[in-house]
Amino acid sequence: MWAGLWASQFTTPPLQCHVTSTLTYENDCKPDENGKKGASRWSHCRKRGADGNLRKSYEVEEPGKCSHSSRRPESFTTPESEGPVSRVKNWGDEVEAEEMRSNVRRDMHRYRRRILEADFPQRDRKISSGSSDSRDSRDSKESPAKGDLETDETTLIRRQKQINYGKNTLAYDRYIKDVPKDMRQPGVHPKTPNKFKKYSRRSWDQQIKLWRVKLHAWDPPAEEGSDLQQIEEIDLGEIMDFELDVECSADTESQCPTSSGASLSLAEVIFSIYKHIPSKISSSDPILEFF
């Protein structure tokens, strides 16, 4: 009877109860085990990718405490234990999660300060001319009012992780060495999405995808003609999604080369990659001949 009760409560394989002699690593939060099926607001839409196959869980795994999505109890009583046994956590994971949280908080303070500094000259302008709607919306894109910041820690951490995946690539390393910040041209050079601005989940994920696609232009060459390969290797499923998303253009004017309201076509995405042409591409590159 005990075994049945126990098995029904936990979806993981039975933990060893003799905590002192064995080591069990558990994270507080394992969305893939709890199952995001129906749990996230995403589950009712975008269930399939453009290729028709069911999508995998959208969420990035988040170690550390995320109380609103973890349904695992902190401690439990098993037949063998003498009382509640606390869940053994992995110190390495815990420290890294804590570090990410405090990095995000620190980033937020810095960003707030930067906004305050930028706000001052603009505030004067607003008072004197009387704020019009277009100006407000433009201003808020550059320096969102304090209340318009994304502050939810879980969201910020998730976004930071996505950014880290992109920054942790050879392409990004080569990009930042290749193009110093002051030489970056908006629309041409990839710009890291701003995690503190308010975006819908979909909009944010699209921005990340676009950013990472753009970064591929700096992938290290494996062999000649590799850039052509890279274009072919881009998951067309991902790119096809761009056409369906109207929000992309409104929020990512600095990333998308199109400034009209139109969504991106495949050709435009490829073109945006080739705008900054790494020197190694030969002029006889067949893709370039299109343009």
Q: How far is the CB of 247 from another protein (least distance, A)?
A: 33
The two three-digit tokens of residue 173, written as one number: 């390393």
The two three-digit tokens of residue 177, written as one number: 């060495």
Q: Of 56 and 181, which has the nearer Cβ to another protein?
A: 181
* Window 37 to 96, contacts with another protein (CB under 8 A): 88-92, 94-96
- Are 270 and 210 in contact by the 8 Å Cβ rule? The answer is no
- State the Cα–Cα distance between residues 283 and 123, nearest whole angstrom: 49
For residue 238, the Cα-to-chain-centroid distance in whole angstroms is 15
- Are 75 and 26 in contact by the 8 Å Cβ rule? The answer is no
Report in angstroms the alpha-carbon separations of 17 from 11, 41, 75, 76. Answer: 16, 36, 12, 10
Q: Of 26 and 285, which has the nearer Cβ to another protein?
A: 26
Long-range pairs of 80-86 with CB within 8 A, sequence gap ≥ 24: 80/17, 80/18, 81/17, 85/17, 85/19
Sole binder of another protein in the list 32, 51, 74, 98 (CB under 8 A): 98
* Window 2 to 41, contacts with another protein (CB under 8 A): 19-23
Q: Of 21 and 259, which has the nearer Cβ to another protein?
A: 21
Q: How far is the CB of 106 from another protein (least distance, A)?
A: 6
Q: How far is the CB of 98 from another protein (least distance, A)?
A: 6
Q: How far is the CB of 96 from another protein (least distance, A)?
A: 7
Q: Of 35 and 92, which has the nearer Cβ to another protein?
A: 92
Q: How far is the CB of 21 from another protein (least distance, A)?
A: 7
Residue among 139, 150, 246 at smallest CA distance from 193: 150
Q: How far is the CB of 97 from another protein (least distance, A)?
A: 9
Residue at token pair 């320096």: 143
Q: How far is the CB of 14 from another protein (least distance, A)?
A: 18
What is the maximum span of the chain, computed from C-alpha positions, in angstroms? 76
Q: Of 94 and 238, which has the nearer Cβ to another protein?
A: 94
Q: Of 98 and 148, which has the nearer Cβ to another protein?
A: 98
The DSSP secondary structure of 3-55, one letter per residue, reads HHHHHHH--SPPPPS-TTT----B-S--HHHH--TTTSTTTTS--B-TTSSBP
Q: Of 92 and 186, which has the nearer Cβ to another protein?
A: 92
Radius of gyration of the chain (CA): 24
Q: Of 106 and 113, which has the nearer Cβ to another protein?
A: 106
Q: How far is the CB of 105 from another protein (least distance, A)?
A: 8
Give the number of residues in contact with another protein, rule: CB under 8 A. 18
- Are 126 and 135 in contact by the 8 Å Cβ rule? The answer is yes
- State the Cα–Cα distance between residues 44 and 227, nearest whole angstrom: 37
Residues at the interface with another protein (CB under 8 A): 19-23, 88-92, 94-96, 98-99, 102-103, 106
